[in-house]
Amino acid sequence: MRYFLIGDVHGNLEALDTVRKDMLTNYGFSFNAKRNGKSKLINLGDSVGYMANPNEVMNIVFRSADENLLGNHDLASVDESLLDEFNPMAAEALKWTRSNLTPQNKKRLLDLVKKRRYAFKENGIVFAHSTPYASEAMNYVENRHDAWSGFFSHEEFEGKIAFVGHIHGPQIYVVYKSNPKRSDIFGRIVEFNSWDQRKVVSRDLSDAKSALVVIPSVGQPRDSCPMTGYAVYDCQNKKVDMVRVPYNVAKTQDKMIAFGFDERLYLRLGVGR
């Protein structure tokens, strides 16, 4: 089984289209093809918020993904009481999203809320938007301490591999033995020293006892690399690819300008912050 992993699209249609094309060109995986039992598309959440095409993104992702999870922006798009938890410019973008979502897409998100679809497990793999432990709390994974408290310190996840998003910066953490201590965790941010050329960073996880992988953001990277990104996990070979691809940032920015988004939101796309 190969898992194709996307997350934090945040209404960025140009980035999503680039990811779709790259998956097809380089992995032979189509969003639209009938699944053959050998591959799945998993959306780790936050399809909306920040950018100007929430409906187009949701229509593509919710028709194509085998599983869709909830992110904090998805939740706030259908629950106005949560807007106070966001900084002012994120909250304003969410208000715009709330007012522009179609009834169908609001229902899609509300259905996930009713199902409490924050995380799930399959084939010894955990998928979540935020930390696998207490996934509803929407905690971030920023370092080894967070990886410990949100995953490795909990017996239920021993021997598991987990994939999460939320922080918009790719990271990989591993332990190589049972009953680990925090000092047994190896890992860090996955760096991409390119702004305009496709790059893949691969990691062999076959020797890992457990692993926590934070995938790149499709729509709003924050690791000083403006390229869109996704991940692919090959279960048979226990190998993960982190993929980054340049996309038409200017087109996304132009749409945001036309709709009156805060300039800080569209300027940050150009520098990956």
In whole angstroms, give the CA distance from residue 26 to residue 52: 28
So what's the pLDDT on residue 194? Answer: 78
For residues 131, 133, 134, 139, the Cα torsion angle rounded to the nearest 10 degrees is -20
So what's the pLDDT on residue 238? Answer: 96
What mean pLDDT, rounded, does the chain reach? Answer: 95
What's the whole-number mean pLDDT along residues 64-81? 96
The 10s digit of each residue's pLDDT in 85-127 is 999 999 999 999 999 999 999 999 999 999 999 999 999 999 9
**Strands ordered across the beta sheet of 125-128:** 119-122, 125-128, 161-164, 210-214, 171-175, 186-189
What's the whole-number mean pLDDT along residues 172-197? 90
Phi first, then psi: what are they for 246, rounded to 5°? -70, 145
| Contacts (Cβ under 8 Å, ≥6 apart) of 56 | 13
Q: Is the pLDDT of residue 26 over 90?
A: yes
In whole angstroms, give the CA distance from residue 73 to residue 94: 7
In whole angstroms, give the CA distance from residue 253 to residue 257: 6
Between the two ends of the chain, the Cα-to-Cα distance in Å is 33
So what's the pLDDT on residue 193? Answer: 79
**β pairing state of 161-164 and 39-43:** unpaired
* pTM check: above 0.85: yes
The 10s digit of each residue's pLDDT in 117-146 is 999 999 999 999 999 999 999 999 999 999
Query: Residue 78: which of 59, 56, 51, 97 has the closest Cα?
Result: 97
